[in-house]
Structures are given as structure tokens and as C-alpha cells.
Structure 1
Amino acid sequence: MTQETRRVLRKDAERNRQRVLTAARELFAEKGLEATLNDVARHANVGVGTVYRRFATKEELLDAVFEDGIGQVVALAETALQKENSWDGFVWFVEQSCELTATDRGLREMVYSRAYGGYGVECTRLRLSPPVSELVERARKDGYLRPDVESTDMPILSLLAGTVSEWAGHVAPELWRRYIALLLEGMRCRSGQEPMPVAALDDGSLDIAMRTWEPGGPPC
């Protein structure tokens, strides 16, 4: 085999890899993480062997697709902390992160479930907690956010946005924004507020919920 032939084959292999990644991201965004490698191959219009040669397991493919996606959410939280007004930063993060997770079912499931993903994805997930906690604490300390709002409430906002999007997105794609606005209004600190009827999850309970939620059934 000549050097030129090897170069052409490498280019073809990289093109096929990118084709598979693009198809996987599109498919997971629409269908969620229950999509299989065979589904990805059909969506990419390639043979299933092409997918398996580049990604031996579904976990490998998920890591390649979602490590950067979760990193986007981390970057949003870090950017929100740079805003001078803590409430503005909090609201901006909620709106931006909910837009990502309301429009990308796969990303939502990957961020808020630990049933999928390998070491790289898990490391990126762990980077999300500190800036989100700081956003909540800062807005609470400045008197903008109800004192009984906790950082563990934040993942549920994105899940709610996603539920609205899944239920009504085909008739009103932006409807999730209405309910996030209502939730944000209810989270503002005001005098004479009654305490929440139920406490937020603690860190341990949130971790259990995330580890045991399998959005599309057990991982393949």
C-alpha cells in the first residue's frame, strides 16, 4: 500500500467518523439516549460495521458526542458568575441552560442521568456542580433568591423545560420559556413568603436519583 493510498484511507475514515458523530448528535437530540448504534448507522446512511469500527460500544460514542455538550453547560455557569448582578447571572444561566436541554433531549438525559457515559463525561459532569452552587448561593446571599432554594433544585428546572418541550414542542416550540419564566418568578425572594412545603433533595438523594434514572431503559 502506497503512502498516498494510506492518506486517502485515513481521510475517508475521519470523514466517516465525523459523519457518524453528526448523525448520532442529531438522533440523540431528537430521540434521546435509547437510540442504538444500529439506529445511528441508519441515520448516518452507513453500514453498521462502519459505526462499530469507530466506536466499539455505545458508551464510547456517547462520550465522543456529549463531553463537549456538557462542557457547554459548565461554560454557561462560569460565564453567568461573571455578571455583576447575581440575579441577572442566575436568570441568564437558567434560561440559557434550559434552552440547551429543552432542545436537545440527548444532552438533557446525559447531563442529568448517570446511567450513561464514561470517565470523560463523568469528569465534565463533576465540573458543573461548583459554579451552579455558587450561582445559587450568591443570589440567595444578595436577597434575590428565596432562602429555601437549593442548588439541587437546578437540574429539575432543566428537566421541567425538557418535559414541556417533549409534550408540546411540535405545536409550540418555545412554550418551555413560559414555564421557566413562571418558575423564576416564584423563586424570587419576597417578604411574607410561606416556606416550601417539601425540602429540596440533598446531595446524596440527588446523586441516587441521577444514578438510577435510565431515560431510555438500561444502557445498551
Structure 2
Amino acid sequence: MNVVTKKPADARATRPLRADAARNQQRILAAARDLFADRGLEITLDDVAERAGVGVGTVYRRFSNKQELIGGVFEENVERMAEQAELALDQPDPWRGLVNFFEYMCMNMAANRGLGEVLVGLEDGQERFACVKERMQPAIARVIDRARDAGELRPDAAPEDFFAVVNMVDWVADFSRPVNPDVWRRYFALLLDGLRADAKKREPLPVPPLTDDEIHQAKMACFNKRR
């Protein structure tokens, strides 16, 4: 009787990579990470191959399509966010831990066009968001609860408020990126003030607002991007 041995569903996921293949995979992921951050998700695997300095066939051997490559880059971001949540919990000052964590989140979104698009713009964005929520929600809740219990955060603030904060800051960052990539910090500070306990001191706003000329230039950049 002949015995048929089934192959793994995804041999790439189970077979150890050769050293050169592992190096190529890291180059591909690094190139994709940079391109997604700079240009968002409207890139091709050919673009990634060119940036990585490998043949497009090499990219396809490691990632069968762009969605799979996006998933690989996205997982790296999830790991870094989880590490930052743990660092926030290790910070002795509960308010500073909360600010540091959400500042990292906003800074990451402001510098990375593709990250926000993954969370809310793809057909499987809700599934990917559910993955992040499952991994991150407990740590984020602890960061927020610790600040509230210390009397630093207004008692009615909820974790969902911080999801809104990050997304509002991301919108400002996307709008102002061509003319003033740091102005998001001003609105992040304003939003934090609205969430801080009433008796606590407010910090000075870190940067000035956009000028009228910068607003005009940013509007023109948005218009040209949609054309």
C-alpha cells in the first residue's frame, strides 16, 4: 500500500530559510516598510523589489501578493506597539507612561502613511484591527487605568477615547505632512489636556499652529494627491 505524505499548507512558513534567503526577506521587509511609510499602500511588488535591490521573482517567492507583504510589515508594527505598552507600564509616573505610549502611537502614525491605511482602509482592515485589539487592548487598558487611578486622568475617560485621539492626530499629520510634519504635536497636546484631570497642570503647547500660507499649501497638496 502506498502512503501519501501530505505537504504543509504553506511550505514557506515551515521550512527554515537559508541564510541568503533570510537576508533577502529582511531586505524586502525593510524596503516595503520604507515605501509604505512614504507612499502608503499604492505601491507594487515591483517597487519593493527595486528598493530592496532584488529581482521581483525573489519577492514573489517570499510573498505571494501585496496583502501578504503588508501583513508581514504590519506584524512588525504590532510587536513594537506591544513593547511600547510594556515600557509605559514600567514608567514610575503613570501620566508620563500614558503620554509616552500615545505619543509613540501618534508619531508612528504621523510618520507612516501605510499604517493608518492598513487599519481602516483595506478590505481586511477590520480583521487586522481585531488582531491588534486582541493583542493590545489589555495593555492599553492597564496604562489608562493606572493613570486614572493615580488621579491624573479624568474619571470618565475610556480607552475608546484614545483610539479617537490617535486617529484625529493622524488626520492632522496626513494633512500637514507636506508643509509641517511636526504640527500634529500641538493637537496631540490639546487633546491630552481635554483628557487630563481638572486639577492637573497643563503643559505649554509644543509647536505653533499652521500659518495661513501653510494651510493653503497643504490644501493644494491634498488636491493634487487626489487628481
Alignment counterpart, residue 183 of structure 1, candidates 188, 191, 198? 191
In structure 2, distance between residues paired with 1:37 and 1:142: 49
Give the TM-score taking structure 2 as reference length. Answer: 0.68
CA contact (8 A) 1:70 1:125 kept: no
- Structure 2 unmatched runs, 5+: 1-17, 200-227
The yes-or-no answer on 1:142 pairing with 2:150 is yes
Deviates more, 1:141-150 or 1:13-22: 13-22
**Count of equivalent residues:** 183
Deviations 1:37-90 (A, max 9, x none): 344334445443332122112232122222121111111111111222221211
Task: Specify every segment of 5 or more residues in structure 1 that has no aligned partner in the other structure, as ranges.
Answer: 1-9, 192-220
| 1:183 to partner: Cα distance | 0.9
Aligned equivalents of 2:21, 2:40: Cα separation in 1: 26
Aligned match for 2:182, one of 157, 174, 177: 174
Aligned ranges for residues 1-220 of structure 1 at < 5 Å? 10=18, 12-44=20-52, 46-111=54-119, 115-116=123-124, 123=131, 125-190=133-198
Structure 1 position 147, deviation (Å): 2.2
Q: Secondary structure at the match of 1:143?
A: coil
Q: Secondary structure of 2:146's partner?
A: helix
- Residues 134-172 of structure 1: CA distance to partner in whole angstroms, max 9, x if unpaired? 122222232221222210122222222222222112221
Q: Percent identity?
A: 44
What amino acid is aligned across from residue 159 of structure 1 in structure 2? Answer: N
Cα deviations by residue, 1:175-216 (Å, 9 ceiling, x for unpaired): 11111011111111216xxxxxxxxxxxxxxxxxxxxxxxxx
- Report if aligned partners of 1:62, 1:117 keep a CA contact under 8 Å in 2: no
User: Higher relative CO (CA 8 A, sep ≥ 6), structure 1 or 2?
Assistant: 1
Q: Distance in 1 between matches of 2:149 and 2:122?
A: 31
Aligned CA RMSD, in angstroms, stands at: 2.9
Secondary structure, counterpart of 2:90 in structure 1? coil
Code of the aligned partner of 1:103: A
SS of corresponding position for 2:185: helix
Q: Which has the larger radius of gyration?
A: 2
Q: Is the 8 A contact 1:133 1:151 kept in 2?
A: yes
The answer to whether the 8 A contact 1:41-1:48 is kept is yes
